[in-house]
């Protein structure tokens, strides 16, 4: 009996996901765009994080990997960069992706342009929506975070990090695009390296920032669709284009 | 002697404006774009405004022009819509532009694409930067406002209003674009009608919103350049384009 109940639950979940997938497809109608439904994870770490600890030790004169940007080489160990967990894991940059997939069950998607469909936007802060994106021979981590910078006023912050060094990150440009209700918001920037802390990128506000009312305008039935595109940008030409 | 001092001051001002103009031109290099330097005005009204008064009278059962959207005809009188002042003026929609120019000294610029260069972004909130934009046979009002929605955390809000009815406003799309420091932020939406209150558009957050750190990243020496473009949009096609 329990088995049948579980099966029925799973079928309902599949129908729900399929429905959300079609909704996103309707909005992002460009052919060939992958739509990935991303469920929220209530953020488990808001204890002093590895980055905060690293920052403290920097102030004491030692240089931890987290703030050791340009000097980090692939041969060095990096800490677990998953923004969700205070995880004790350390490893080489090359194995960060498999660690994030296997230990933290973060999905990875292929393709130059994908649609990130974050569900259950109404959940209370702090909440994270995370996915990895494989593109142009590199892997990127997209983080959408709901956080209360000002008490009682949750905001949404979205950024993209390269799972690589800051020098490698400088070769790319990422674009996040929201499009609904006769409004369009586009954010374009150079991705940060995963060796920098996602927490500090978000607390600096150097990312796509949405207040709750704008997030609602761009949401459809509690889900927010973000179009993502990554391009190479050896010479960043955007400042001359406008 | 006083005359010479004033002349010297005026020449210095001109040189300063010219310098800012060239800086903006360097960033917004597309040929033919007008650059308009807009100086801030410390917001004089934060007493109960005409809109708030209008809202109160709506609640009491009468319909003031400010919230009387689709029913307003050109033949009706509209109150002064300048967001800076609690001005007792009332007049027809057709003469709002000349009232704003003559009484409130708001500049008007011609051209489909212009650059709005707001100076002295560091000034404390509340501060407004305002200009009129004549384009496609209509006049628009661009308002950039620095305001503290959360105490101690000023934010910048930018929106465009049509000096016309909401039905006329639905025929247009406006785009605001910031582009500097390898970052680009674009906001596209249908302009609101001047018959709606700019205060309520901003308090709803249904506009381009910048926190202080992002505004600093996009500023150059205390000035923020915003590229503005207006297009007609009989059928709003942006949702199908992405």
pLDDT tens digits, A150-197: 888 899 999 999 999 999 999 999 999 999 999 999 999 999 998 888
Using a 10 angstrom Cβ sphere, with 0-12 exposed, 13-18 middle and 19 or more buried, the burial of residue B140 is buried
CB-CB under 8 Å, B213 with A238: no
Which of A149, A182, A236 is closest, CB to CB, to B189?
A182
Confidence at residue A232, expressed as pLDDT on a 0 to 100 scale = 93
Residue A30: other Cβ atoms inside 10 A: 12
What percent of chain A has pLDDT above 70?
Answer: 64
Residue A146 has pLDDT above 90, yes or no: yes
In total, chain B counts a number of residues equal to 242
CB-CB under 8 Å, A211 with B240: no
Which of A209-218, A231-240, B190-199, B205-214 has the weakest average pLDDT?
Answer: A231-240
Question: What is the interface size between A and B, counted as CB pairs within 8 Å?
Answer: 92
Confidence at residue B149, expressed as pLDDT on a 0 to 100 scale = 84
CB-CB under 8 Å, A189 with B206: no
Confidence at residue B203, expressed as pLDDT on a 0 to 100 scale = 85
Assigned token pair, A75: 């041969």
* Rounded Cα gap, residues A197 and A58, in angstroms: 14
Residue A3 has pLDDT above 70, yes or no: no
pLDDT average, residue stretch A95-118: 86
Confidence at residue B187, expressed as pLDDT on a 0 to 100 scale = 98
CB-CB under 8 Å, A183 with B188: yes
> CA of A186 to nearest chain B CA: how many angstroms apart?
5
Cross-strand partners of B221: none
Residue A9 has pLDDT above 50, yes or no: yes
ipTM of the complex in this document: 0.74
Assigned token pair, B73: 């005809």
pLDDT average, residue stretch A222-233: 93
User: Are B132 and B107 in contact, with CB atoms under 8 Å apart?
Assistant: yes
CB-CB under 8 Å, B204 with A239: no
What percent of chain A has pLDDT above 90?
Answer: 36
A176 contacts on B by Cβ (under 8 Å): none
- Chain A residue whose CA is closest to B188: A184
The residues on B that touch A, with CB distances below 8 Å, are 27-30, 149-150, 153, 173, 177, 179-180, 182-190, 204-206, 209, 211-214, 217, 227, 236, 238-242
User: Are A66 and A50 in contact, with CB atoms under 8 Å apart?
Assistant: yes
The residues on A that touch B, with CB distances below 8 Å, are 27-30, 149-150, 153, 173, 177, 179-180, 182-190, 204-206, 209, 211-214, 217, 227, 236, 238-242
The residue ranges of chain B whose pLDDT is under 50 are 24-31, 46-74, 236-242
* Rounded Cα gap, residues A134 and A97, in angstroms: 10
Helix runs in B35-114, H state only: 50-59, 96-102
Element (H, E) at B169: helix B166-169
Confidence at residue A190, expressed as pLDDT on a 0 to 100 scale = 96
Confidence at residue B129, expressed as pLDDT on a 0 to 100 scale = 92
Confidence at residue A20, expressed as pLDDT on a 0 to 100 scale = 54
Residue A37: other Cβ atoms inside 10 A: 21
DSSP string, chain A: -HHHHHHHHHHHHHHHHHHHHHHHHHHS-STT-EEEEE--EE----SSPHHHHHHHHHHTT---GGG-TTT--TTSEEE---TT-----EEEGGGHHHHHHHTT---EEESSEEEEEE--TTSPSSEEEEEEEEETTEEEEEEEEEEEEETTEEEEEEEEEESS-HHHHTTEEEEEEEEETTEEEEEEEPPEETTS-HHHHHHHT-SEEEEHHHHHHHEETTEEEEEEEEEE-SS--HHHH-
Per-position b or e across B145-179, b if 16+ CB within 10 A of its CB: bbbebeeeebbbbbbbbbbbbbeebbbbbbbbbbb
Which of A179, A187, A238 is closest, CB to CB, to B242?
A179
- The single-letter DSSP state of residue B151 is T
B242 contacts on A by Cβ (under 8 Å): 27-30, 177, 179, 227
- Chain A residue whose CA is closest to B26: A240
Confidence at residue B152, expressed as pLDDT on a 0 to 100 scale = 82
Which of B212, B217, B239 is closest, CB to CB, to A179?
B239
* Rounded Cα gap, residues B120 and A218, in angstroms: 32
Enumerate long-range contacts of A90-99, CB under 8 Å, 24 or more apart: A93/A163, A93/A164, A93/A165, A93/A194, A96/A163, A96/A194, A97/A132, A97/A139, A97/A163
Of B134 and A83, which is predicted with more confidence? B134
* Rounded Cα gap, residues B103 and B97, in angstroms: 10
User: Are A232 and A137 in contact, with CB atoms under 8 Å apart?
Assistant: no
pLDDT in tens, A44-78: 554 344 444 434 333 333 333 333 333 444 456 77
Confidence at residue B98, expressed as pLDDT on a 0 to 100 scale = 87
Q: Which of A145, A119, A124 is nearest to A197 (CA)?
A: A145
How far from chain centre, in Å, is Cα B238? 23
Domains and CATH numbers, chain A: 34-41+74-232 (2.60.210.10)
Element (H, E) at B198: helix B198-204
Confidence at residue A40, expressed as pLDDT on a 0 to 100 scale = 75
Assigned token pair, B197: 């209150």
Confidence at residue B145, expressed as pLDDT on a 0 to 100 scale = 93
Confidence at residue B40, expressed as pLDDT on a 0 to 100 scale = 76
Element (H, E) at B188: strand B183-189
* Rounded Cα gap, residues A136 and A141, in angstroms: 14
Residue A236 has pLDDT above 50, yes or no: no
Confidence at residue B107, expressed as pLDDT on a 0 to 100 scale = 87
pLDDT band at A113 (very low <50, low <70, confident <90, very high): confident
Q: Which of A183, A104, A152 is nearest to B153 (CA)?
A: A152
User: Are B84 and B43 in contact, with CB atoms under 8 Å apart?
Assistant: yes
Confidence at residue A198, expressed as pLDDT on a 0 to 100 scale = 84
């Amino acid at each position: 009996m329990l088995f049948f109940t579980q099966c029925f639950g799973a079928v309902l979940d599949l129908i729900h996901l399929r429905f959300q997938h079609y909704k996103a497809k309707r909005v992002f109608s460009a052919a060939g765009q992958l739509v990935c439904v991303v469920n929220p994870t209530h953020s488990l770490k808001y204890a002093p994080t590895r980055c905060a600890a690293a920052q403290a030790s920097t102030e004491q004169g030692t240089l931890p990997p987290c703030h050791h940007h340009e000097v980090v080489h692939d041969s060095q160990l990096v800490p677990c960069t998953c923004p969700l967990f205070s995880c004790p894991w350390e490893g080489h940059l090359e194995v960060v992706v498999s660690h994030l997939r296997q230990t933290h069950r973060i999905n990875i998607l292929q393709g130059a342009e994908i649609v990130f469909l974050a569900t259950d936007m109404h959940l209370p802060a702090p909440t994270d929506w995370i996915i990895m994106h494989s593109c142009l021979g590199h892997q990127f981590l997209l983080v959408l975070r709901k956080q209360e910078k000002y008490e009682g006023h949750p905001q949404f912050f979205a950024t993209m990090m390269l799972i690589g060094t800051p020098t490698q990150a400088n070769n790319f440009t990422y674009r996040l695009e929201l499009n609904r209700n006769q409004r369009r918001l586009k954010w374009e920037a150079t991705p940060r390296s995963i060796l920098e802390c996602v927490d500090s990128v978000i607390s600096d506000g150097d990312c796509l920032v949405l207040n709750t009312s704008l997030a609602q305008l761009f949401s459809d039935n509690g889900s927010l669709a973000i179009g993502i595109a990554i391009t190479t940008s050896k010479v960043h030409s955007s400042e001359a284009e406008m």
